[in-house]
Amino acid sequence: MEGEASVNKLHTQIEIKPQGQEPPPTYSSVVDNSEMDIQPEGKLPFFKSRYRQRASDTWLISLLVILHLVAFITTTLFNYFSTGSVFFQPLSENPLLGPSASTLDKVGALRRAFLVQNHLNWRFFVCPWLHAGIIHFAINISCMIFIGIHLERDYGPLRIGVIYLLSAFFGSLVCSLFVRNNPVVTSSGALFGLLGTMLSGLIRNWKVYSSKGAALAALITVLATNFLLGLLPYIDNFANIGAFISGLLLGFVLLLTPQIRQMSKNKAGLFECGVKHSKSTIKLKQKLALDRPILRSISLILFVILLSGCLVALFLGIDINHYCGWCRFIDCIPYKRWNCNDGPNTCEIMKSNSEMTLTCLYNGNTRVFPFTNISQARINDLCGMIC
């Protein structure tokens, strides 16, 4: 009798269940169900995936990393064949543990003389791929991967690729207005363009994201670290500033809404806790559907004006350093371990059978080098180091 009553009870429970109702989604055991209720309804965590990611979702950042790596290896090989002995110059010559100044000149770095006298404008397109040293390369690429992957997954490779390239080029244009007679590279400018894009994405979709504090903290940390790195020789901070402004404006123009994909009903990734199904997803999509045409139009107009102004100033050969005496300290902080002087360095040269002695006529510093058979460009590098 008891068994028969249990069967009837179970049968009754099944009959009163509403028809057509789908079972609730089940999650993998690795997902902390308590975390599902932490996120506000209909909001997205900025640094966590909203859908099951695929390897193809970040092909653009992977391609950019490969291109930067190829450019860095090429620069290193140029330095080895130029010096005949080392891949990287010592920290006393290059504090970023990278190539010599003459090597950077050969591979495409920007310098005032190249732009004004020789009109080597092809350097605008090469300079954004160059790094000043292995320290610069490691920090810049790590930050680019960290920021770029999240942006590419949220907004797609096309829009992020356009912003990346335009910001890199705009940063080189701004650099040309401030560059002095020292070689500089502008690869950090593209990273600052991504940082500006990240900021515009946060501002534009402020009510959508739930982890705004963590995103802002990460943005400020990456920005401050790379800006301080730009105070060393061979890295141009004005390119970073220009690219950041470019990325911010282009982000307002091109970043319409994050890409949200429908997840499987019975599957969820480890961090897919910021999107709720049914009503929450509908409300989220309604929020993302809103657009700001006035903000987009103003941002586009400002970007076109700035780009046109920089191009006109470049063709006129304007050097802003003539009007701003303190601007050089934004780009390079003088220190005893490196040289920020862009003036002509003149040294007295004395050679013996196996040694070469250089004496700087500017400050009287003297140094003996255990070699004599080097090029004039290399002698200029050593003269600049001791002056």
**What stretches in the chain show pLDDT beneath 50?**
1-2, 5, 7-17, 20, 26-38, 40, 49-53, 55, 260-278, 281-282, 286-290
Work out whether the CA dihedral 192, 194, 195, 200 comes out positive or negative: positive
Q: How far is CA 200 from CA 14, 151, 161, 287, 321, in A?
A: 52, 11, 16, 17, 30
φ and ψ at 209, to 5 degrees? -85, 145
CB-based contact 195:147 (threshold 8 Å): yes
Q: Give the pLDDT score at 173.
A: 94
φ and ψ at 25, to 5 degrees? -65, 140
Measured CA to CA, the distance from residue 106 to residue 127 in angstroms comes to 11
Q: Give the pLDDT score at 47.
A: 61
φ and ψ at 348, to 5 degrees? -85, 130
| Plot region of 156 (φ>0 → left; ψ -120 to 50 → alpha; else → beta) | left
Q: What is the pTM of this model?
A: 0.77
Q: Give the pLDDT score at 277.
A: 42
CB-based contact 247:200 (threshold 8 Å): yes
Looking at domain 58-257+286-331, its CATH architecture is Up-down Bundle (1.20)
Residue 148 amino acid letter = G
**Structure tokens of 261?**
């994909």
Q: What is the DSSP string of 44-56?
A: B-TTS-SS---GG
Q: Give the pLDDT score at 52.
A: 42
The sheet with strand 366-369 has its strands ordered as 347-351, 356-360, 366-369
CB-based contact 237:230 (threshold 8 Å): yes
**Where are the domains positioned within the chain?**
58-257+286-331, 347-386
CB-based contact 98:132 (threshold 8 Å): yes
Q: Give the pLDDT score at 69.
A: 96
- Who's near 214: CB < 8 A, 6+ residues apart? 46, 47
CB-based contact 108:127 (threshold 8 Å): yes
CB-based contact 194:245 (threshold 8 Å): no
**Structure tokens of 296?**
């987009």
**Structure tokens of 231?**
């105070």
Q: How far is CA 102 from CA 185, 204, 368, in A?
A: 13, 44, 20
Tens digits of residue pLDDT in 103-151: 999 999 998 888 877 777 889 999 999 999 999 999 999 999 999 998 9
Q: Give the pLDDT score at 56.
A: 53
Measured CA to CA, the distance from residue 269 to residue 299 in angstroms comes to 36
